[in-house]
Amino acid sequence: MYDVVQIHTHKRLFIGLLVASLLVVGLLVLSIWFLVFSPERSMIYKFVLLAVALVLLVTIMLAGIGLTAIVLTIIRARPFALLQGPTRVALNTFFPLVLMLGRLLKIDMNRIKNSFIEVNNSLVRVMQISVAPGQLLLLAPHCLQNSACVHKVAGNVNNCRQCGQCMVSDLLQLRDRYGIMVGMATGGTLARKYVQDYRPKAIVAIACERDLTSGILDANPVPVLGVTNLRPHGPCQDTQFSFRRVEGAIQYFLSDGSDHI
């Protein structure tokens, strides 16, 4: 069994970039508004610009409310049920813009995605979710398997011989201990198929930053606790995970919602 310490990225990185993204879109709305009242433009042109400006303005307002809800939820450790919609607008709609802004500022993409994962995990943990073992899905990447193993487990984790040479055996140990569902995916398509087939009420996901962020957004509104994998041999080869953190995430969903990770 491997158990390693994971490096955390502060949540304020993603939140700060989200604020900056809202400001950028706000400046865009002001620019469009200025063009609307330009005397050189035709009425049809002004009408189209005004419609675009109003759509962007409504989106900014919803995302602003969602951003406020995110910050207050993290600070107070209490969810705002009525603000779930604006929160999703802030996270889902502005996530691509956050990444774009991060690239312009030359910020490492994995740092931004790690920060997003931490924000998501904080929002999920305060929801006090409790599900039955049969409603919880543990999703893991196929690269956890030893690259020299001839027993391919992607699509059917029961093919694992539990030799202990990789952490797939740890997944089966968690499955048998808690009675949860386990799926190993080769990518987003198979991961989405697991979600469609099993219809879980909650998900614990192990993956790299890229796959975790896309998976969290795709699974919405199903709550996901994400644990980034560890790559001592480089990406997509003989990866590992923190057994302690994954087990803590499982215990959180199976308990009364108290924090274990």
pLDDT tens-digit map of 99-151: 999 999 999 999 999 999 999 999 999 888 899 999 999 999 999 998 889 88
What value does the mean pLDDT take over residues 26-48?
78
Are 156 and 217 members of one domain? Answer: yes
Whole-model pTM over 0.75: yes
Cis peptide before 141 (omega within 30 of 0): no
H helices then E strands: how many in the chain?
9, 4
**How confident is the model at residue 216, as a pLDDT?**
93
**How confident is the model at residue 54, as a pLDDT?**
86
**Number of domains composing the chain:** 2
Residue 231 lies in a domain: yes
Integer angstrom CA distances of residue 92 from 15, 116, 214, 219, 243: 13, 11, 10, 11, 29
Expressed as residue numbers, the domain containing 61 is 11-125
Are 137 and 248 members of one domain? Answer: yes
Q: Encode pLDDT of 211-234 as tens digits.
A: 999 999 988 889 999 999 999 888
DSSP 236: T
What value does the mean pLDDT take over residues 45-60?
83
Q: Which CATH number does the domain housing residue 205 bear?
A: 3.40.50
Are 28 and 65 members of one domain? Answer: yes
Question: If pLDDT is split at 50, 70 and 90, which confidence band does 82 have?
Answer: low
Are 55 and 139 members of one domain? Answer: no
Q: Which of 99, 125, 151 is the last residue of a domain?
A: 125
